[in-house]
Structure 1
């Protein structure tokens, strides 16, 4: 069932890409690369979160990062 969701994510990303790509002028190379990188990274993140839903979020990373400082500040 997860494969159907992965195909749906890829299909949605493809539709977004096909809709937005012609609107970016050919002379704007940096904007095109930025669009490609952001679209690909968001697709990979969506698929990773679909396959591994128990991955810790960013707030848990910040907590682990600043936990030693809380002991010092008390």
Structure 2
């Protein structure tokens, strides 16, 4: 079941990168698009195995929570 999900994520990411690669003329935009899509695919695969990982808002709260208390 998870193997099918992993393959689906990878196929979708590959299709997105291919489409962006064909439509973009700039090398930098191609690299950035491929990088963001690759990171998102890796995060998606990690979340398949560890669905209880904290979200990005909890990460930001962890980092800036002490700054908020310090300002008050």
Any idea what SS the aligned residue of 1:54 has? coil
Moved more, 59-68 or 34-43: 59-68
Larger Rg, first or second structure (1 or 2): 1
Which structure is higher in RCO with an 8 Å CA cutoff and minimum separation 6? Answer: 1
The count of aligned residue pairs is: 71
Structure 2: gaps (5+ residues): none
Distance 1:35 1:7 in 2: 20
Q: Deviations over 1:16-74 (max 9, x none)?
A: 2222211111xx1211111121111111111111111010112222333315854984x
Q: How does the TM-score come out when normalised to structure 2?
A: 0.77
Q: How does the TM-score come out when normalised to structure 1?
A: 0.75
Structure 1: gaps (5+ residues): none
Cα RMSD over matched residues?
2.1
